[in-house]
Amino acid sequence: MTDAVKGKISVETENIFPIIKKWLYSEKDIFIRELVSNACDATSKLKKISLSEEFEGGTDYKIELSFDKDKRILVIEDNGIGMTSEEVKKYINQIAFSGATDFAKHYQNAENKAEIIGHFGLGFYSCFMVSQKVTIETKSYKKGEAGVLWESESGTDFSISPIEKETRGTKISLYLDADSGEYLDKWKLKELIKKYCDFLPVPIFVDGEKANREKPLWSEEPSKLKPEDYKDFYSYLFPFSGESLFHIHLNVDFPFRLQGILYFPKLTHELDASKNGIKLFCNHVFVSDNANELIPQFLTILKGTIDIPDLPLNVSRSYLQNDPLVKKITNHIIKKVADRLLEDFKKNREEYQKNWSDISIFVKYGILTDEKFYDSVKDALIFKNSESGFYTLNEYWEKNKEKNNNKVYYANETEMGSVYMDLLKSQGLEALLVDSKIDSHLIQNLEMKNPDMKFQRVDAELADQVVDKDANKGLVDSENKTESDRIEEFFKTVVAVEGVEIKAEALKSQEVPAVILMPEFMRRMSEMNSMFNKEDMKALKNHTLLVNTTSPLVKSALRVFNGVNQEKGKNLARLVYDLALLSAKAMSEQEISDYTKRTSQFLEEIFSEN
């Protein structure tokens, strides 16, 4: 045996560990990830060596975490490849220290902690975030090699000496500092192993109990898996999240390496689309539950896992945003999602339509934000129709373009029972239904991409087929005015409201006395504002009141006005206007209250006359 060798790693290291602790204090749990990952690497290397060499100690590979609360010692031990004295000097004093030095130089002047998304380069020296002293006892798998003890109380001064060690592998003992007693708790350690190291391919034990799952489902061959396997894995990753709609298994070897499983969850609210549920891994080691730089915003509703062995994880977000590898991965994920949607649409349309309410938000959002995604899924974009079915845009167009005069009629799903839809359906016409706040943007987008189609809201402009253009406007009176002229004048007198235009036309249906029409762009502006909870009732005040000259109620109002009770005629005309406003949802709460009072008084007057 030779004597102990003492030394100092570098005279420039005095500021390294304060910097490390400053940046990683709130994330100091990662020392578990680093040390257990190193232990797993040591075991994986020995597994490869076992294919060509013999060694002592068997192949019952494992990693063990144990602790002594009284002495405040946490131990992480493996029976992997181990190290010789020269390897300790190389990997601990040189390479591992180099990673810590690079980390310190990179972040000592940084201002934004959020830029740090991974710290794999830090490695072994992360243990000094929680320890006042660290020892390494190790023995190489090579025959005839002696055990080695490495000790340091600062991370800069160290000693290396030979020891008697019976078994191969490495044992790291952390003498925890006064602020790190939480790591002397079995449940805390098991929680960290599950979070960071759950899928490492070596059994990990905490205080004698197995703490990791080992094999991730994403590394399995898709052809060998059953639907139940994917369901169980989803429940394991995201307990209490219900069932997923369907999944995509990613498995790429070239031109980059990528594995993972993406799930489409059921949405309970549109705001769920902003939640990120994708866990990012590197070689089965958990790195982050924020994969925003890899996943486009419209796909953040997805849940699942992505494992990228070649991704440099100790880099800034700005690097990720400009890294060619990341862009290739992002494009691949978008393509796989689009391919899956198109496949489901073509092969099982009934099930696809059943799931549409859950996936429509992200499909529409993707169409608005990614041109390639639009090109891929445009044929799988579907709409409910007013006849309780579903159409793609092209299906609706081919069926209705002639009778619709090259127009695409559409309406909010809440308008199904409105007078506008009644008028449209009375003439055998049908409309596409929209049901989310982003649909105004979607319609504009589709208009630009389909210039031959004119999109028309049913409550913005009446379909030509609804208006009776051949109707007789009535006899011309002594002032050369028709009945339609008189009705229009009458309502202009009664409804003298700024911003309101009055028109009198004959509709083919006599059941609707009047409707409110608003320019298409005003309707869309109002709905876009509602996305930001800006209900602008003022925008709804500029509109057209189209009075139906064939309505018995309208004719009665004019007759009463011209007869013995002019005031009653005015009240009837005002009632017609109020009903049109109510139907168009263009009344504020105060106006509804005023309308109720006004109508009650009018009814009382009518019944008092009788």
Q: Which residues are annotated as a binding site for ATP?
A: 34, 38, 78, 83, 98-99, 170, 317
Residue 309 CB partners (closer than 8 Å, separation 6+): 257, 282, 283
> Phi, psi (5° rounding) for residue 231?
-65, -45
- CA within 13 Å, CB half, 542: 10
**Separation CA 270–CA 396 (nearest Å):** 26
Q: Taking a C-beta distance cutoff of 8 angstroms, is the pair 41, 22 a contact?
A: no
How many CB atoms within 10 Å of residue 485?
17
Cα end-to-end span (Å), the chain: 121
CB 238 within 8 A of CB 207: no
List of residues 6+ apart from 196 with CB closer than 8 A: 29, 30, 32, 33, 36, 285, 286
Residue 95 has which token pair? 């390479």
Please, which residues have CB within 8 angstroms of residue 3's CB and are 6 or more apart in sequence?
A: 161
| Rounded (5°) CA angle 282-288-291 | 90
Phi then psi for residue 448, to 5 deg, are -65, -35
Quote the DSSP letter at residue 91: I
Amino acid at 346: K
Helix (H, G, I), strand (E, B) or coil at 599: helix
Whether residue 143 contacts residue 49, with contact meaning beta carbons closer than 8 Å, is answered with no
Q: Let me know how long the chain is.
A: 610
For residue 482, give the amino acid letter.
T
Question: Binding site membership: which residues?
Answer: 34, 38, 78, 83, 98-99, 170, 317
| CA 553 remoteness from chain centre | 51
Judge residue 518's burial from the number of C-beta atoms within 10 Å of its C-beta, 0-12 exposed, 13-18 middle, 19 or more buried.
Answer: buried
| Spatial separation of the C-alpha atoms in residues 409 and 431, rounded to whole Å | 5
Name 99's Cβ contacts closer than 8 Å, sequence gap at least 6: 121, 122, 123, 124, 125
Exposure on the CB side of residue 452, measured as CA atoms within 13 A: 7
Angle at 165 between CA 162 and CA 171, to 5 degrees: 95
